[in-house]
Structure 1
Amino acid sequence: MSLSDDRRLTEIETRLHREDPEFVRSFTDGRPLRPREYRYHRAWLLLCLALGALATGVFMAHGLLIAAGLVFAGVAGELFDPHRRVRARRCPPSGS
């Protein structure tokens, strides 16, 4: 491998370790782990709570619970997007 390839691999390794140290540590332990952007524990929990609130609101005919359940289900849906951080950094196109 050339020197530039080694330097490039070292940069990638450093960036990966800085972004997700648990992922890198799991490879050294021999038990690979999903990258951070594909771990959905919080999203599943929020989705279950949202659907519970929605079902309770429908059962009790309570509009505020129905609305809260729908809003939180939408937030949970956004959490399932693995590329949400990349999209948040991009600048929106100018309208003029």
Structure 2
Amino acid sequence: MPGFDDQRLSEIEQRFHREDPRFAHALGAGRPCRPREYRYPWPWLLLAAALAVLGAGMALAHGLLIATGLVLAGMAGELLDPERDARRHPPRP
């Protein structure tokens, strides 16, 4: 029953557009982004904490706080890298 399959596919497409329009638009364009459930705000919070620790370390002239802020900023930068997954899983020839 091809009509039934087409109807189910259109229902799934409509649900995608309702739940996460950004993902549905990107999927239609051929470059899907992560769905909303997999987009985590904690790397941004880690970056904010890193900058706060780094600033406090510079204000207090405390080397351990400066080093901690730099390490945390590096970790946040790695987590926010959009090409991180591509480097982790290179394409096979």
TM-score scaled to structure 1, two decimals? Answer: 0.55
Pick closer, same or farther for the CA change 1:65–1:25 going to 2, 3 Å: farther
Q: For 1:1-96, what aligned pairs fall within 5 Å after superposition? A: 27-29=16-18, 31-34=20-23, 35-36=33-34, 39=39, 41-90=41-90
Q: What SS does structure 2 have at the residue aligned with 1:36?
A: coil
Equivalenced residue count is 68
**2:34 partner letter:** R
Pick closer, same or farther for the CA change 1:87–1:32 going to 2, 3 Å: same
Higher relative contact order (CA 8 A, sep 6+): 1
TM-score scaled to structure 2, two decimals? Answer: 0.57
Q: Percent identity?
A: 50
Pick closer, same or farther for the CA change 1:30–1:89 going to 2, 3 Å: closer
1:57 deviates by 0.7
